[in-house]
Amino acid sequence: MSAQSDAPRSVGTVIVGAGPAGLACALELLRSGVKDVLVVEKHRFPRYKCCAGYITSKTFETYKNFGLDPEKCGYSFIEDFRLFRGAKERQKIVNKFLYTSRAIDRVDLDNAFFRLAKDSGVNIEEETEAVSVDREENVLTVRTADGSESRIKYGNLVFADGTYGPGSLLQKKRSAKRVNIAMQLIFKSDLPDGIEIRFGVSRRGYVWVSSYGGVTNVGLTDRFRRGVNYKELFENFMRLRGLTGEGGSADDLEQIRKMKAAFTPIGIRKAVVGDNIFFVGDALGACDPLTLSGLRYGLKSGSAVARSIISGSPSVIKKYAFSLRIRFAFMSLIQRVFYLRPVQFMVFNVGCRVFGGVIRSAFNRFLVSK
């Protein structure tokens, strides 16, 4: 049974979640001289993140603006980037804007950003989970790893706790029901360095196969549909690609069957509830529904909320959220159209053969905006 302290401590701004969006908010506040900030994080760093670790050149520069150089986290270009439809290679891309890490995940990058925030003076309490919010009293109840609960009276509360964190309960009817699902498996392999993006495995998503320095990350995404056995889809792809079975690099199928899925939101949620509860990153819905790219949007949303807090006006984050709503509505429309079978046929069977140069150029121009 957990013990709870009666007297709440007071904090100017409490941020729930020490991911990129939450830490960007904390660092932006600190830069502006706001030091009365507490970040609570339910995990201990370094923490696992279901992500292939790709970042674009704009995301790279956004991190550098916060004082973190992704190159020091092992990020570099992988030039061998290939698009597949079914089992056939359809297009090779000369990659100009996409970076990936040697570990083929985002653990080191997130951990480096976490360490930067700590070293900069951001107060972060790990293994501390948000439990409930009393909006009338402006009190957040948190629980530590030993089960003890305490209360924090906040001036501002920022939720950077992902798609289905406690903050989503405050979104009510505007909570995004539409989500993308993602799962991945990382293992040692002898595959050559390169990135494969494979369409046709899932209905409205793709599979990535990223290999670098003897490590391979295989991941599957789709617009989530109930009743679909995604682990079975994943296992079937691994068999088809020759990555499981006798002599395979990931022959222990129990790894697949024990995988946990991650979800990314489709659609921008409320940016502000009341006048002092804010949402950033996936909690805001700041994730591209087509590519699942969300890092730069998360960082930018964190900065926008910090500026709203500093100015005392929610207009900054509301304007940014509105711009994302327009952008993502367009990307959601593209997603619907792109995964139609006739469109896929035209793109991969006609477009890649006849207009390969145009597709290569469009691909890189598209990525540079992320």
Biggest alpha carbon–alpha carbon distance for the chain: 70
**pTM: predicted TM-score of the whole model, two decimal places:** 0.90
**CATH number among 3.40.190.10, 3.30.70.1520, 1.10.260.40, 3.50.50.60, domain 9-51+106-178+267-336:** 3.50.50.60
Could you report the per-residue pLDDT of 10-56, keeping only the tens digit for each? Answer: 999 999 999 999 999 999 999 999 999 999 999 999 988 888 788 88
Instruction: Compute CA 316 distance to the chain's CA centroid, rounded to the nearest angstrom.
Output: 22
Neighbours of 42 (CB within 10 A): 21
**CATH number among 1.10.10, 1.10.3470, 3.40.50, 3.30.9, domain 60-104+180-265:** 3.30.9
Contact 296, 370 (CB under 8 A): yes
Dist. CA 223–CA 338, nearest whole Å: 13
Of 190, 261, 191, the closest CA to residue 231 belongs to 261
> Do 9-51+106-178+267-336 and 60-104+180-265 fold alike per CATH?
no
Beta bridge partners of 149: 4, 143
Domains of the chain, by residue range, sit at 9-51+106-178+267-336, 60-104+180-265
Could you report the per-residue pLDDT of 119-174, keeping only the tens digit for each? Answer: 999 999 999 999 999 999 999 999 999 999 999 999 999 999 999 888 888 886 54
Is the previous residue joined to 46 through a cis bond, with omega within 30 degrees of 0? yes
Q: What is the pLDDT of residue 126?
A: 97
Q: What is the pLDDT of residue 101?
A: 82
Of 151, 157, 153, the closest CA to residue 273 belongs to 157
